[in-house]
Structure 1
Amino acid sequence: MANPNKQKGTAWESRVRDYLNWFLGLSDEDGKFLDPFNGLNVRRPAQEGARDVGDIHAAPFILECKDVAKPTVPSFLRQAEVEAGHAGFPYGVAVVKLRRANVRAGKVYFTVRTWTRVRLVMGLSAQQFADLYGFTFSLRGLDTGKWYAGCDLFEFGNLLSDLRDVTR
C-alpha cells in the first residue's frame, strides 16, 4: 500500500491541476484536454529525483503544492523557486490546501520578489496588483526572506490568465 501522505499530496496536486485547466477553459467538464498538444495546459510532470521540477507546471509558473496541517510558507517558497529554476520557469509559487474548503479557496503564496516581478511584467502598480487579485501580505519581522504575499486559487487563475494575455 502506498504512503497515505503521498496519496494525500498527489490528490491535492491533481485537484489543483484539474481546477486550473477547467478555470482556464483548457479542459471539458470531465477533465479531458480540449487540445492535448496545447503548451498552456496545466500539467503534473514526472518527478526527476534530486532535480525536482515542481508539482505542477502552469506556464510561466511552477506550483509547489502542499496539503499539510501546519504550513511553513517560507520553506515552501524556497523549494518552489529552486524547482522553477530546475524546470527553466521564471516563477515558483506555493499552493497550500485549506482544510475543509473547496479547491478554489486554496492559498497561493508568492515571495515578495516573485510578486514584484510578475506585477512589473503586467505593468501594474503595487496597489493595483494587490487589489485586482486580492493579495494579502505577511510581513513578519525584519527578515524579508520570510515575507510573502498570498491570494486564493480562484484569483490566481485570473492572474494566470491575465499574465498569459499580457505576455503573448
Structure 2
Amino acid sequence: MSNPNKAKGTAWESRVRDMLNRRLGLVDVAGKFLHPGSGENVRRAAQEGSRDVGDIHCYPFILECKDVKSAAVPTWLRQAVTEAENAGFPLAAVVHKRRGVAACDARVHFTVSTWTAIRNLLGTPVDDAAGLYGATYTARGVDTGRWYVTVSLGDFADLLADVRGAHAVR
C-alpha cells in the first residue's frame, strides 16, 4: 500500500475487527471464524463506490474507525450515521484509537440518539447503562447535535453482545 495513512487506517480497522471477534467468541485461537458464513461475524467492509458503508460491519452497528491524533467526534458521528444509512444498518458508532494503550481501551463514540436507542432496546435506564458500560457523556454547547456518549472498545464488545442478545429476542 503506497499511502501510509491508508495503511495505518487499514491496520487499525483490522485490529478493531480482530479484537471484537475474539471478545465475542466468534473465532478460534488461530483467528479463524468458527462459523464463516454467520452474520454475527465482525467484518471489514468492502467500499462500494461513492456511497461509503463504513469501515466495520458488526450488526446492528456500522463502525467508523479513526486513527488520528486530533479528534473531531461530532463530524465523525455524522459521517458514521450516513454510512449506516447507506449500508442499511440501524446503529452507528465511531472507534477512535488512543495512543499508547491497548485496542480494548480505544474510545467508542455514539450520538445521543443512538445511545438512547441502545438503552431502549436493552430496557436499561440512563444511570444503569452508564454504570454497566462505563459511559461518559460529553455536551458541547447548546447544540445537542454536538453531544455524544463514549465507552471503551472493551465495554463496547460487552454492549454489542447484549444488544445482539436483546435484538434476537425481539
Coarse TM-score class (shorter-chain normalised): over 0.9
How far apart are 1:33 and its partner, in Å? 0.5
Whole-angstrom distance in 1 between the partners of 2:28 and 2:76: 31
How far apart are 1:29 and its partner, in Å? 2.0
- Identity in percent: 56
Whole-angstrom distance in 2 between the partners of 1:82 and 1:122: 24
User: In structure 1, what is the equivalent of residue 84 of structure 2?
Assistant: 84
How far apart are 1:144 and its partner, in Å? 0.6
Structure 1 position 138 matched with structure 2 position 141:
no
Q: Secondary structure at the match of 1:49?
A: coil
Whole-angstrom distance in 1 between the partners of 2:29 and 2:50: 35
Structure 1, gaps ≥5 residues long: none
Whole-angstrom distance in 1 between the partners of 2:17 and 2:97: 13
Structure 1 position 61 matched with structure 2 position 41:
no
How far apart are 1:65 and its partner, in Å? 0.2
Whole-angstrom distance in 2 between the partners of 1:7 and 1:35: 28
Q: Secondary structure at the match of 1:163?
A: helix
Whole-angstrom distance in 2 between the partners of 1:76 and 1:65: 9
User: C-alpha offsets along residues 61-101 of structure 1, whole Å, 9 cap, x if unaligned?
Assistant: 00000000101000110000000000000001000000011
How far apart are 1:167 and its partner, in Å? 1.3
How far apart are 1:18 and its partner, in Å? 0.3
User: C-alpha offsets along residues 47-69 of structure 1, whole Å, 9 cap, x if unaligned?
Assistant: 01210100000000000000001
Whole-angstrom distance in 1 between the partners of 2:85 and 2:54: 10
Using the size of structure 2 for normalisation, the TM-score is 0.97
Q: Secondary structure at the match of 2:9?
A: helix
Whole-angstrom distance in 2 between the partners of 1:70 and 1:129: 28
Whole-angstrom distance in 2 between the partners of 1:14 and 1:152: 17
Structure 1 position 126 matched with structure 2 position 126:
yes
User: In structure 1, what is the equivalent of residue 39 of structure 2?
Assistant: 39
Whole-angstrom distance in 2 between the partners of 1:73 and 1:83: 15
Using the size of structure 1 for normalisation, the TM-score is 0.98
Q: Secondary structure at the match of 2:120?
A: helix
- What is the one-letter code of the residue matched to 2:14? S
Whole-angstrom distance in 2 between the partners of 1:100 and 1:146: 27
Structure 2, gaps ≥5 residues long: none
- What is the one-letter code of the residue matched to 1:88? G
How far apart are 1:164 and its partner, in Å? 0.7
